[in-house]
Structure 1
Amino acid sequence: MFKLTRAVVAATAALTLAVAGCSGDSGGGGGASAKKDSSITIFNGATGTIVENWNPFTPTFLQPTNGLIYEPLYWYNFAAQSKPTPMLATGYSWDAAGKVLTVTTREGVTWSDGQPFSARDVAFTFNLIKGNKALNSTGVSLASAQATDDKTVVLTFTKPSFTDEAAVIANTPIVAEHVWSKISDPAKSINPNPVGTGPYKLKTFSAQSYVMEKNANYWQPGKPQIQNVRYIALATADAASAALTAGQVDWMSAFLPGLEQLLKNQKNLTYVNTPALTTSIFTCAGADLGCTGPQTDPAVRQAVYRALNRDQLNKLAGGGFAETASPTMLLPGRDKSWIADPDNLNTPAGPDVAKANQLLDAAGWVKGGDGIRAKGGEKLSLTIQTVTGWSDYISLNDAMTQQLKEIGIELKPTQLSWNEWNNNQVQGKFQLSLDSIGLGASPNPYATYLKYSSRTTEKVGQAAPPSGNYARYQNAKVDAAVDAAAATNDETVQKAQYGIIQTEIVRDLPYIPIYVNSMLTEFSTSHATGWPSNDNKYALPASWKQWDNGIVLTNLQPAK
């Protein structure tokens, strides 16, 4: 798929392969040097002008921010289910009530500016988030963070927070106190001179490309071995295909029509497919929070869900690589045990036009002479936004325009730059938007269902937190169930609460699932080797994937 996504998903896997030295208490540093002339070029879906932002707490940060520059305490690999991988921490434990989390931090780690890292930086990071609501993307209910010594942090929460574990340990970028304590407005700063613990640091930036260079102070011995990593923007899928086959790009994640044929005679090119993200129609659903338009009517959203011919959409836009989604927004294969009602396991493959028409008729939407429905003088016309150059999503819009016309809905696609598209979602300034529901910070569905919680959204015109509730959806039963799931580490109790959530969201559909999109990632071995493969998915390989991008780059070696 030709796009940059915000999928907030961490990872774990062949740990000893992926993160050298993670099992010990100290990390070392320096190690073998990267070849001074070794470099690779990455396309991570950026289109148009690149806008600089290295602030890891904002929705519009550039993707290498988390993974290359900043690191979390732990990391999960969703490409191969396993336990969390130690990064800046080497151990953690909860108290019995789930309100106190004690973390042991890694010794021997240095910031990219040469200053030592310690538990005090971790405590500062969490207190910074606690003191700035706009930075709290997961709605974690932190009461305090205290470094009891240089390698121990005690995080205290206002309520039981077992299900926040992954968000805390695996999806929080740790920042330097000596840098961020001097930033007057951490929610708005673009952080132009980022200082992190990750394998790379910023070298140069322009509106067309930027270059990251090896962090000589990196804590993993001998890593990274690639000296420079260049990121570029491309305009279209055709441009991406051309750049890949011409050897101008070494790593990209894009849906390319005729991919197997395209790579057939390219001995240095290969690809992997790791479907994990549910392509969905995001709706601005919450009228009470300022959303306007026919999509605020649940009957309209239900009718759209019923009218889609997903088999046709997969053939026309997904290239046949997509897999079946679930209206629960979980993955039917991987997450079957978390789905309470078997009837909600899969989305329908074909359309039910009769049911869709029945829903709209009952809701008072009447077809006019032009075949488009109206109600109370309002035409059932909906604008759907996507990003210029996202070829598969543009194809989806074209096909859905025809499919929805059959039930009297006028769909009006619009293409925007990534920055404008993203800002519209964050601010709630849209009717419909094509995006994907990403995986949470762990295999537990909790993070997915936070996207439906009223505590991770804001009124239209105000920024919702990164990967938050962009639909502006409010439901008291869902809020209560999310909080109840967070209060226990008993999976039986959690499943019961998730079942409540699933009943509500399958009926209300603030996010309308289409399919689990392919996650096609292409690699070139011309300049580097050691990429993930179908036999060794040591990280989720998408070039835009935060956290995993750093894992992949630290596992590469210059081609001989």
Structure 2
Amino acid sequence: MLNLLTRRGRRLGAAVAASAALALAVAGCSDGGGGGTDANKGAANSSITIFNGATGTIVENWNPFTPTFLQPTNGLIYEPLYWYNFAAESKPTPMLATGYAWDGAGKVLTITTREGVKWSDGQPFSAKDVAFTFELIRKNKALNSTGISLASVEAKDDKTAVLTFTKPSFTDEAAVIANTPIIAEHVWSKISDPAKTVNQNPVGTGPYKLKTFSAQSYVMEKNANYWQPGKPQIQNVRYIALATADAASAALTAGQVDWMSAFLPGLEQLIKNQKNLTYVNTPALTASIFTCSGAELGCKGPQTDRAVRQAIYWALNRDQLNKLAGGGFAETASPTLLLPKRDQGWIANPNNLNTPGGPDVAKANQILDAGGWVKGGDGIRTKNGEKLSLTIQTVTGWSDFISLNDAMTQQLKEIGIELKPTQLSWNEWNNNQTQGKYQLSLDSIGLGASPNPYATYLKYSSITTAKVGEAAPPSGNYARYSNGKVDAAVAAAAATNDEAAQKAQYAIIQDEIVRDLPYIPIYVNSMLTEFNTGNATGWPSNDNKYALPASWKQWDNGIVLTNLKPAK
């Protein structure tokens, strides 16, 4: 999975499948991992089942440095030095580290590691593992998903690791301490190609370790060596893939799934008579049209024309899209790709705070006319013999995005753009984005390593992209966007710890990306997460959002699972 499901929320269909279909779906996922009330007789046999959006065949990959690692890799198996809770305003929570400090120039970061931690194979953890992790990243560009610029790494002793950067790197702090999985030197030093290994027998410090794996489901079991006393209390965690949205909805209401994140129309009515079902809403991700925009990096198609991207932005009727696909629960997005409510203080120009609700068809047509795109007899525009026809990809079963595509097809036709939706497996969809082998793609943006916009704006930087056909880093610049002013502003923001100075650089970035629109925002999706309290208690609630509860969210999934208790 993002992982790379960490960057998107899913809305699934509301219809409940027939009981026979449900039986087939759930039976097809069975691998002896437990699940259901009978399996939860005491903590020793406690188990829960999670659906994190996986559809179709699950491809094994526990390598946290690759774009297609399975989502529980980070949080259940591997842990960071610190963790940020995006569901509430909070300071970073110590995990594998207990302290850190920068030098005055922002080039040297000293980290104090936690004592008494063991790897899941029983070997001791130390600052040497931290140093090894960052040295491996320093030496292998393919592993450097956040573009940090390390000059050297050293373990002073078993409790102290020192990272030296080539330039001031204050804004890399969150990426370093809260978004880098720490790996075991005694394991990874024996791996010849760390960028390509699927890491079949992962060894981590997290609360769980891999028990069994199949193409339909996999089971994680409690790590008996976990460093937090008494945690976790749930023995087995089973992750399943379901064939359809209907099957997911049915599995929830039938008590076959304990944790899932999905928008279900009429949710309150659906669970009204289900005493063990509850939910929480934490909107945070901006549903967007990703465009392969960089012709100089190999992108091909009308979307490489800025005028086309601008016209799409203005032609969208977002109010209608919210009603048709968002169920009325979506919130207004910003063309800066920040969250208008949470990040208003980081948005320099008030005119860029919100996307328009309704369309401006006249403006969209004017932009295309000026760009030389001429309407033909069929109503579709052409330029220099090229038809303004665009393929947009999404994942089979992601019903909200499928509904968006259907509605946008009609909206864009009005200005002479032919939109051709296609549905793919998650693996194919994700690979296309990573490799740049697409024209348009529906995805979501948000949730960087910290509330600072730096991580979001790295998605526009040349240092986190690659030529078409080469893999961009996980959660990187999939748009293949290249802009010298943006690159310079990203670098300048990284060189200071002064928020006012950072805001000045982000203002430059915002001016450029609002004009160029390599990512076209639609709206901030609702993030509904559903829980079954019949097998486990201690889930996040609207009154206690101790973690971002989405079942697909990396890092937070480990926090949630360590807070659960078997239901009595």
Aligned to 1:22: none
Counterpart for residue 283 of structure 2: 275
Shift of 1:122: 0.2
Name the SS of the counterpart of 2:6 in structure 1: coil
Give the equivalent residue in structure 1 for 2:7: 7
Aligned length: 535
Give the alignment partner of residue 480 of structure 1, picking from 473, 488, 510.
Answer: 488
Distance (whole Å) between structure 2 residues aligned to residue 299 and residue 430 of structure 1? 19
171, 178, 201: which one pairs with 1:170? Answer: 178
Matched, 1:42 2:50: yes
The one of 193, 214, 224 equivalent to 1:206 is 214
Match of 2:36 in 1: none
Q: 2:477 matched to 1:469?
A: yes
Give the AA of the match of 1:256.
Answer: L
What CA distance in whole angstroms lies between the structure 1 residues aligned with 2:80 and 2:99?
A: 13
Tell me the TM-score normalised to structure 2 length.
Answer: 0.93
Contact 2:8 2:444 (C-alpha < 8 Å) held by counterparts: no
Alignment partner of 1:6: what SS? Answer: helix
Maintained 8 Å contact 2:261/2:529:
yes
Distance 1:218 1:280 in 2: 39
Q: Supply the AA of the counterpart residue of 1:252.
A: M
Aligned to 1:415: 423
How far 1:386 sits from its partner (Å)? 0.1
CA displacement at 1:144 relative to structure 2 = 1.1
Distance across 2 between alignment mates of 1:521 and 1:130: 37
Q: Give secondary structure in 2 for the equivalent of 1:90.
A: strand
Looking at structure 1, the residues matched to 4 and 543 of structure 2 have their Cα atoms a distance apart, in angstroms, of 25
Match of 2:27 in 1: none
Share of identical aligned residues, percent?
88
**In the alignment, what sits opposite 1:353?**
361
**1:469-496 CA-partner distances (Å, limit 9, x unpaired):** 0000000000000000000000000000
Q: Which residue of structure 1 lines up, in the alignment, with residue 23 of structure 2?
A: none
Question: Counterparts of 2:513 and 2:447 in 1: how far apart (Å)?
Answer: 17
In structure 1, the partner of 2:38 is none
Aligned partner letter, 1:125: T
1:481 is paired with a residue of what secondary structure? helix
Q: CA–CA distance in 1 between the matches of 2:79 and 2:150?
A: 20
Match of 1:272, SS?
strand
CA displacement at 1:8 relative to structure 2 = 9.3
Q: Provide, for residues 167-213 of structure 1, a one-character-per-residue CA deviation record: whole Å limited to 9, x for no partner.
A: 00000000000000000000000000000000000000000000000
Q: Which runs of 5+ in 1 are unaligned?
A: 10-33
Residue type of the alignment partner of 2:318: R
* Matches of 2:241 and 2:264, distance apart in 1: 16
| Equivalence for 2:80 | 72
1:102 matched to 2:93: no
Residues 91/523 of structure 1: CA separation in 2 closer, same or farther (3 Å cut) = same
**8 Å contact kept, 1:5–1:436:** no
Which residue, out of 229, 241, 246, partners 1:238?
246
Q: What CA deviation, in whole Å up to 9, does each residue of 1:107-151 have, x standing for no partner?
A: 000000000000000000000011110000000001111000000
Deviations 1:298-351 (A, max 9, x none): 000000000000010001000111100000000000100100000000000000
Contact 1:6–1:467 (8 Å) recurs in 2: no
Q: Confirm or deny: 8 A CA contact 1:528 1:558 kept in the other structure.
A: yes
Q: How does 1:256-295 map to 2 (within 5 A)?
A: 256-295=264-303
Match of 2:21 in 1: none
Q: 1:215 aligned to 215, 220, 223, which one?
A: 223
Q: In the alignment, does 2:389 pair up with 1:377?
A: no
Is 1:522 paired with 2:530?
yes
Question: C-alpha displacement at 1:438, in angstroms?
Answer: 2.1
Q: TM-score, normalised to structure 1's length?
A: 0.95
Shift of the alpha carbon at 1:4?
A: 6.7
**1:120 corresponds to which of 114, 117, 128:** 128
Q: Aligned partners of 1:142 and 1:261: how far apart in 2?
A: 53
1:443 aligns with 2:454: no
Whole-angstrom distance in 1 between the partners of 2:219 and 2:286:
31
8 Å contact 1:176–1:195 — kept in the other structure?
A: yes
The correspondence for 1:491, drawn from 499, 515, 524, is 499
Q: Is the 8 A contact 2:338 2:446 kept in 1?
A: no
Q: Is the 8 A contact 2:4 2:67 kept in 1?
A: no
| Aligned partner (choices 33, 54, 59) of residue 62 of structure 2 | 54
Distance 1:368 1:153 in 2: 64
Which stretches of structure 1, 4 residues or longer, exceed 3 Å deviation after superposition? none
- The more displaced of 265-274 and 221-230 is 265-274
Alignment RMSD (CA, Å): 1.2
**1:5, 1:435 within 8 Å by CA — same for their partners in 2?**
no
